[in-house]
Structure 1
Amino acid sequence: MGIFDKFKSQARHKGKQGSDTAEQKANERTGGKYEDQVESGQQRMEGSLGMDQDRDRPDQK
């Protein structure tokens, strides 16, 4: 693993943490009323940004 791969991995990890925090805050503010919609939106956003794939393991789609 090269140094740039480490930076990408760290950035992806930080992005995932931010996404999880945003999901948690949204669910807290809505009292969990829209939990399914928030989860779906988070998954779609992560998918479009490529955060749903583990780049260290090939052929994961």
Structure 2
Amino acid sequence: MLLQKPTGRQPSLVYAVSRRTPPAEMNYHSSKLELTAVIWKISKLRPKKPLFLLPPKNSNGYYGDG
């Protein structure tokens, strides 16, 4: 669900979509299922824009092991 909250008012529903979990994903851990759902939802809301997932920055301020 995508909600929008105008200033000083209750949130209202803007967009909703759902899907069934495919058999291949039935045994995924809950955190992996949630990540899969987020990626699927973003791809539905922004179909022509690429999605980049970056690992957390390390203590040096760089992404990954470097």
Please state which band the TM-score falls in when normalised by the shorter chain: 0.3 to 0.5
Q: Which one scores higher on RCO, CA 8 angstroms, separation ≥ 6?
A: 1
Give the TM-score of the pair, scaled to structure 1.
0.38
- What TM-score do you get using the length of structure 2 for normalisation? 0.35
Structure number with larger C-alpha Rg: 2
